[in-house]
Amino acid sequence: MPDRNVTVLWALRSWCASHKCLPCYFNWPENATLQALPRSGVLDHQSPDDVPTQQLFAFARTLGDSPVRRVFLAGGEPLLWAPALKLIEILKTQRIEVVVCTSGPALNKPGMAERLVDLGVDAFSVSLDSTDAEYNDRWRPPRKPGFGWEGVVNGIRTVLTARGDRPQPRVGIYSMITKLNLDAITTVPRLAAELGCDYFVAQPVSLPADHNLHDELVLTETDIPRLRREFGQLYASGLPLTLPSVDYPGQFVSAVQESTGLVRDCFGGNDLFFVEPDGSVWDCPSALRIAQTPPQRRRSIRETTAADAFRPAGCADCALFSVDCVNMWPLMGFDRVVDPAPAGSTS
């Protein structure tokens, strides 16, 4: 049995039937794209090249003989892809920890939350950007009736009810922070605590320079004093939530101050991998890292095993620190979320 210390962020499908999130890290057709990236490194909601379902299942069945310990299932919204439940069942039979990254409303489908709890999902990370329903739904426009802010909050309540008195799955909220919702760093975790959630993560919006919302949303140095105040209040609040480590606000601010920097002994390609809907495997989701990956190092889950796809290359210094990296630290510090720590702790 191999040592299991690898985390995989797996974007399952290109299309998202849940929301049309305007600052999504997938491209919408009307948004500009990073033309400098290799085509397989550009996430596109219109992609026709997603891995066929049965081929994806076959690959998942090899994870038990790989170094993978934990998989974050992301999307397009994973819970609106019909085969997702079967995939989760396969992952759990391979002794993989499963964290579902979801927009939330799909949890309201009759029997869905109960089925996921019974399958042994370890955690749900639900996206919610504000306590203000109008703001949230402006930037995450729902594609279906009932999928707006109320649907997200009700989805959280539904899965917490399905969990009952059991310690798992853990349930948390992720908020995407932009120039327009800095208050969410403190207001959303208060809502999370009121709902009975277990953790909260504020993550900086990441958009390429040519994205049509870049100037309106992306954080700059002028936002740093407010960021420091909001994070200071959050970490001093004593809310009964697990937060990212006490170093995380500094990492967040550093990415706003400098567009690139050095990460010593980076976990990308060693303890962390990223899989795209077309099966491409990258050391991490960083657009800069993907762009600099030479052709001979590009891999795919198609017609291979997890042991080969996720073979650690050994930690190395990386000079490509960016806002993309900041969003990875909470994934790599997830142990104390799935292994509950005392209330109010940081991980």
For 91-117, the pLDDT digits (tens) are 999 999 999 999 999 999 999 999 999
> What is the per-residue pLDDT for 34?
41
Q: Name the one residue in this structure whose structure tokens are 């996720």.
A: 310
> What is the per-residue pLDDT for 314?
66
Task: Calculate mean pLDDT across residues 154-165.
Answer: 98
> What is the per-residue pLDDT for 341?
54
pLDDT at 41 over 70: no
> What is the per-residue pLDDT for 319?
86
pTM of the complete model = 0.91
> What is the per-residue pLDDT for 37?
40
> What is the per-residue pLDDT for 311?
86
Helices (H), the chain: 53-60, 84-93, 112-119, 133-139, 149-163, 184-195, 214-217, 224-236, 248-257, 287-291, 306-309, 323-326, 329-332, 335-338
Residue among 52, 25, 101, 6 nearest 285 (CA): 25
> What is the per-residue pLDDT for 23?
80
C-alpha dihedral over 76, 79, 81, 82, to 10 degrees?
Answer: 180
Work out the mean pLDDT of the chain and round it to a whole number.
Answer: 89
What is the band of 6 on the pLDDT scale with cuts at 50, 70, 90? very high
**Beta-carbon count within 10 A of 152 CB:** 27
What is the band of 346 on the pLDDT scale with cuts at 50, 70, 90? low
pLDDT at 281 over 90: yes
Instruction: Specify the DSSP class assigned to residue 341.
Output: P
pLDDT at 324 over 90: no
Amino acid at 103: S
What's the 3-state SS for 282-331?
A: ECCCCHHHHHCCCHHHCEECCCCCHHHHCCCCCCEEECCCCHHHHCCHHH
> What is the per-residue pLDDT for 148?
96
Least confident of 35-39, 43-47, 242-246, 284-288: 35-39
Amino acid at 99: V
pLDDT tens column, 42-62: 555 556 689 999 999 999 999
The residue with greater pLDDT, 239 or 18, is 239
> What is the per-residue pLDDT for 347?
52
> What is the per-residue pLDDT for 38?
42
Beta carbons of 19 and 103 less than 8 angstroms apart: yes
pLDDT tens column, 181-214: 999 999 999 999 999 999 999 999 988 888 889 9
